[in-house]
Structures are given as C-alpha cells and as structure tokens.
Amino acid sequence: MPETPKSLPKSESLSLAEMMRIMDVATEMRTQRETVEKEFAVDETRRILREKLLQTTAITGERVTEAEVDAAIESYFSTLYTYREPKGTLSVVLAQFYVKRGHLAIVSLLALTLLGTGWWSMKFANSRFSGTARTNRKIARLETAIQSNLARVQAVAREPALNEDLARWQDEAQVARKQLDLPALGSLEQRLGELAIQLNEVYQVRILADPDQQSGFVRNFEDAAGKRPAYYLIVSAINERGQAVRRTIESSETRKKLTVDRWAEQVPKEVFDRIKEDKKADGILNETSFSLKRRGFRDEEILLKGADDKPITRLGQITEW
C-alpha cells in the first residue's frame, strides 16, 4: 500500500522551500500524464523533473547545484512507493473474496452441482446409482441366469418328475423377485446351474478289475447291534471317452464330502462273494458294471444285481480304507 514518503537522511536534507518546489513540480507532472505508458516511463519523468527544478531555481535565484537536484529527485523516487503487507482484517478478507469472486463462483457452482447430483441419485429410485436401482440390476441378472438354466434343464431332461420340479422352481423365482430376495434368487440360480451340468453327465461306474489290485475288501464296524462286517467293492467312474471322472462322494462313515476318482460301494455279502469268486477263478473280473449315469437323468441307474436277480439298493459309500 502507498505510504507517505519518508524523511530524507540528514546528509541529503533539503530546505522547506526546496521540498515545496519539488512537490509543486511533481504535482504539475502528475496532472500532465496523458497515458499509462508515460506514467511508468521513469527515466523520462526524472529528466523532465530535473529540468523543471533547475528552471525553478534559476527563476527564484536559489543556488542549488545539479548534484543536489539529482539527490533530491533520487530521494523522492526512492520513497515514493513503499509496499506493506496488509493486515488480515475483515475488510481485507472481503476484498480478497471480491477479487476472486469469479473463480469462487465457478467452484461453488461445481460443488453444488455435484452435491445436487448425488442427492438426486440417492433420492430417486430410477437413478442408476440408488440402492434400489442396484438391487433391481442384480435381480435382473439373476433372473436372466435362472431362465437360461431352466432352458438348459428343459432341453435335456428325461425324467418326468423334473417337470414338476421346474414348475416349482419357476414359482420360487417369481416369489423371490416380488420380495426382492437376492439370496433366494442366487441360491436358485446356483442349484439350476448345477442341475444342468448334472443332467448332461454321462459315465459308467465300474468295479476295479485290475488283476494286480484288489477289487473289494471287508471292513468291520460296530453299531447298536454290535460288531459286524461290511462288504465293499472298489469302483471308479469312466466317461464315454474311457477317461476317469472325478466324483464328489459323501462318506457314510464320516459324513464328509470328498472329490475322488476312486471310492468303495457297500454291497450285500452274497454279491461280494460272487464278485470275489469271479475274480478268483482266473484272475479276471467279468462282471464289472456297477451303475450307469445317462444323459437327462439326475441319478445313476444301478446295474449290479443281487441274489434275486434285481438291481441292488445302494447301501453306502466310503472314500478312505
């Protein structure tokens, strides 16, 4: 901020008359400035001021040397403008806000726009960023997946009972959709996907016939009825290309599920003895089919027959022995 010029050092002190003449000349020059460029032309201003002072001293008869005039001019210009940092008063703060009003207005407008957009997005259900909209999108994706899996199941299903199940699952999907029940829809979509894979599986479960390996074993266990033996045949699943298929088996002993390529099926004693005698006769097992999994069916069809010449009932499975 401009300040009142400071006093000259003692070595450069001027008389009152001299200072008045200098101020008169300076005032006259300021009134004659016609353009901004001339106002900042310091060298030109110094020259004109020097000439005016010398002319004035000649008229008044004052004896002032050129060196004194130059010293007076230098002192005048050195103290003409002095900058001082303004204090942080309320008026200064308001002035700064006024100067930056354009920038502040743009920033404020952007902030209000963002806040308004966020509020609108969270306020209205049809906004893609609202909680309801996100839920609806998830439900739509699950419904599409459910319908796709239903179509896959219907295309391959050959069990009459599956038709009733499909109708029930469609009803479950509609109820879950109305209730916005995402967990129920997700569970249904997963079950249908697994069922579609299961229905497309084709393989045969065979009794291990390798002459260098055992095809079965006897296992003793105890229950409420006491200690008694259980008879098992070692089996594996083979697909249409003759490749082993890993199956997820729940052990009847531990109730744990394991994915394995070989497990043991419990069979009646008379069946176990028959298989044992078959392999013992010449080391080659002729009766190897235990069950068959056909495309379009959920469960395997048991092929191994019992003493009554009918397929046996599956008794239990184990994965470790």
- Residue 11's pLDDT is 42
CA proximity to 63, closest of 17, 28, 11: 17
CB of 182 closer than 8 Å to CB of 143: no
180 compared with 63, residue with greater pLDDT: 180
Q: For residue 232, which phi and psi values (nearest 5 degrees)?
A: -130, 145
Does 5 reside within a domain?
no
- Which residue range forms the structural domain that includes residue 19? 10-78
CA distances from 254 to 258, 318, 320 (A): 11, 8, 10
CA distances from 318 to 80, 233, 288 (A): 105, 10, 19
Q: What is the mean pLDDT of the chain?
A: 82
Q: Which amino acid is at 59?
A: I
Our CA dihedral for 307, 309, 310, 311, rounded to 10 degrees, sits at: 70
Residue 6 has pLDDT above 70, yes or no: no
Does 3 reside within a domain?
no
Segments of the chain assigned E as strands: 203-207, 216-223, 226-239, 244-245, 247-250, 257-260, 263-267, 289-293, 301-302, 317-318
Q: d(Cα 11, Cα 321) in Å, to the nearest integer? A: 117
71 and 24 within one domain: yes
Q: Point out the least confidently predicted range of 9-13, 105-109, 121-125, 282-286.
A: 9-13
Structure tokens at 91: 């008026």
221 and 195 within one domain: no
Could you report the per-residue pLDDT of 9-33, keeping only the tens digit for each?
A: 444 556 777 777 777 776 766 666 5
- Residue 39's pLDDT is 54
Does 4 reside within a domain?
no
Last-in-domain residue among 154, 170, 199: 199
Q: Point out the least confidently predicted range of 70-74, 154-158, 288-292, 294-298.
A: 70-74
Does 223 reside within a domain?
yes
Last-in-domain residue among 144, 172, 199: 199
Instruction: Tell me the average pLDDT across 209-226.
Output: 87
208 and 193 within one domain: no
- Residue 46's pLDDT is 75
Q: d(Cα 205, Cα 209) in Å, to the nearest integer? A: 12
Does 1 reside within a domain?
no
**CA max distance for the chain:** 154
- Residue 130's pLDDT is 61
312 and 224 within one domain: yes
140 and 231 within one domain: no
CB of 319 closer than 8 Å to CB of 251: yes
- Residue 8's pLDDT is 45
290 and 237 within one domain: yes
Could you report the per-residue pLDDT of 252-299, keeping only the tens digit for each?
A: 989 999 999 999 999 999 999 999 999 998 888 999 999 999 999 999
Last-in-domain residue among 147, 180, 199: 199
Q: d(Cα 90, Cα 78) in Å, to the nearest integer? A: 31
Give CB contacts under 8 A, 24+ apart, made by 275-278.
275/207, 275/215, 275/216, 275/233, 276/215, 276/216
Does 236 reside within a domain?
yes
Residue 187: how many CA atoms within 13 Å on its side-chain side?
Answer: 7
Does 280 reside within a domain?
yes
Q: Does the model's pTM come out above 0.75? A: no
Domain tally for the chain? 4
Residue 125 has pLDDT above 70, yes or no: no
